[in-house]
Structure formats: C-alpha cells, structure tokens
Chains A and B, each alone.
Chain A
Amino acid sequence: MTVHARVLVRPKAGILDPQGVAVERALPALGFEGASNVRIGRLIELEIEDPSQLESMCEMLLANPLIEDYEILQS
C-alpha cells in the first residue's frame, strides 16, 4: 500500500532567485503587469509506503536545508 506524496522545494526567503527574477522581468513584456516576488522551486511527486520517511528524505536528499525550504504535501 503506497501513499501519493508531493514535496515542494523552494529557495529560502532572502536568497536571491535569478530564475524568478528573469520570469518576473519577462511578464510585463507579455502584457502581464503587477506580478512581483516571483520565486521558482520544484515539485517532487512520489509514491511511498511509509510517509514518515519523507521528513528525513527531505533533510538528506530532496532539499538542501541550508538554501532551500521544503513542504511535504500528502494527497
């Protein structure tokens, strides 16, 4: 029996995200005004038998806690 889980990994607040800056600058060129604080992270989806492992999985591999925040979302 597995559980579907999603892990959201984002650059920590205060760390400059050049990808986000590039996207933020591109939006007005397409006519989308008023978007700010664009941040780009990644979504990791997995099927897992023991969701209690997710936390240490994030700490050890899925995120680098020095530069990234993570959030475990189970559905």
Chain B
Amino acid sequence: MKFGVIRFPGSCDEVDAVLACERAPGCSAQILWHGDADLGDVEAVVVPGGFSYGDYLRVGAIARFSPVMESVIRFAHDGGLVLGICNGFQVLCEAGLLPGALLPNLERRFICRQVNVEVVQAGMPFTADCATGELLSIPVKHTTGRYYAPEGDLEALEAGGQVVLRYAHDGNPNGSSNDIAGVRNARGNVFGLMPHPEHAVDPLTGSVDGLKIFTSMAHAHG
C-alpha cells in the first residue's frame, strides 16, 4: 500500500510516520506538501503530529483549510483510509472528519510519557491486527489532548462503537472524556488518536505496539 504523509509548516513527526509506514510489509510512503492539492496515487493518508501553522488561533484550525486538506476531505468522503496522529487528530476534528475537539490538558502541562491504551474496537481497518481488550504501549506528547464531545454526542459515540482506544488503568493523562484516546468516524475509514504509534515501532524505543496500527491499515487494504 502507498501511504501519503502530509507535511505542514510546523509538522515535526512526518518523517517518523513515513518510517513507520515503510515498516508495514509491502508498504511505501511519500510526503505530501500542504500547499499541493494533488494526492497522487496514495492509497491511505496520514496526518502527522507537530504544530501545524504554529498552532495559531486554535490547534488544527488553519491547517484544516490548506489545499492538501481539501483533497483529504474528498478522499475521506470517497472512503479512503485517513489516520490522524496527535496534531493530525486535532486537524481532522477541525475539518469535521471526526467528531469532537481536543482541549488543553487538565493539568495545563505538556506531557510526554509512555501510556497504555486499551483497544476498545478491534477488527476495524486501523485495529485489524489487534484483539479487543489488548493493551498497546505507546507514547503521548502533547499540551492539547483532552478529548471533548458534548454529552449527547459522547453517548452516541460509545453506543455506535466509535471509541477505538481508551487510556487504561486510570492512566488518563489529560482529562479526556471517558478516557478516550482515539475515535473513528461513523463509516470507519477515518481514525484519530492522541498517542503516537509512529514512535513505537522499534524495540530500541521500548515498544513496537504502534506498528500494529500501520500493519492493520495495510491488511485492511489487502
């Protein structure tokens, strides 16, 4: 599968994301420049972490209107797989591709640590290689990661199986509603998460659990 990884001004995790994609068997990855609306022949899109457009105004607010994102929105509406990591998650929420929003952490601090997340929804395109209830050890590093959705929407997300990952064992690092670490859209082809699976693909950095997200996408694609 050919991954495209977006690079905005201020992105900082796009190279790790490319390397993670390339570790999935049979996969290649290329950078997509934010100002270029052409997605080429990519078969899945990764919106990576960082500080797109300096996080000016609100996280993700300006990136959401970049030429590449207009194409990503069409790509998602056509059923293409889109993964948003950290800032990418924030961008996808701002773009309306995912429900909810990310608010500043409850403790007002930048947090950078390894967390365990529980796979709530296995068997979907982003978790095909995981088991329900499985714990993944993946790092988080963010200041604005408190997942929020209005009360009624939250119930609908839970009932509709759209909560994909949850912080495990009272380990909610940022005050997210219902310990939510990752959600998908109703159709199941767009997924966003605050933890960084692209930073957990090599034993050298302590965990390879993150690779499962990328291999799942490759397997879902067939």
**Partner-B contacts on A (CB < 8 A):** 15-16, 18-19, 21-22, 61-62, 64, 66-67
Contact = CB atoms under 8 A, between A and B. Distances in A.
Contacts, number: 31
Contact of B108 (A19, A64, A66): A19
B61 A18 contact: no
A64 B106 contact: no
B94 interface: yes
Contacts of A16: 103, 106, 175
A17 to B, nearest CB: 8
Given A19-B108, A22-B108, A66 B150 contact: yes
Contact of B61 (A15, A19, A21, A61): A61
Interface of B: 57-58, 61-62, 65, 94, 100-101, 103-108, 148-150, 175
B65 A18 contact: no
A61 B107 contact: no
Contact of B105 (A18, A62, A64): A18
B106 A62 contact: no
Contacts of B150: 66
A71 to B, nearest CB: 17
Contact of A18 (B57, B62, B106): B106
A15 B103 contact: yes
Contact of B104 (A19, A62, A64, A66): A19
User: Across chains A and B, which 9 residue pairs bring their CB atoms closest together, nearest first?
Assistant: A18-B108, A67-B101, A66-B101, A18-B104, A22-B108, A64-B101, A64-B58, A18-B106, A67-B148
Nearest to B104: A18
16 contacts: A15-B148, A16-B103, A16-B175, A18-B104, A18-B107, A18-B108, A19-B104, A22-B108, A61-B61, A62-B57, A64-B101, A66-B100, A66-B101, A66-B149, A66-B150, A67-B101
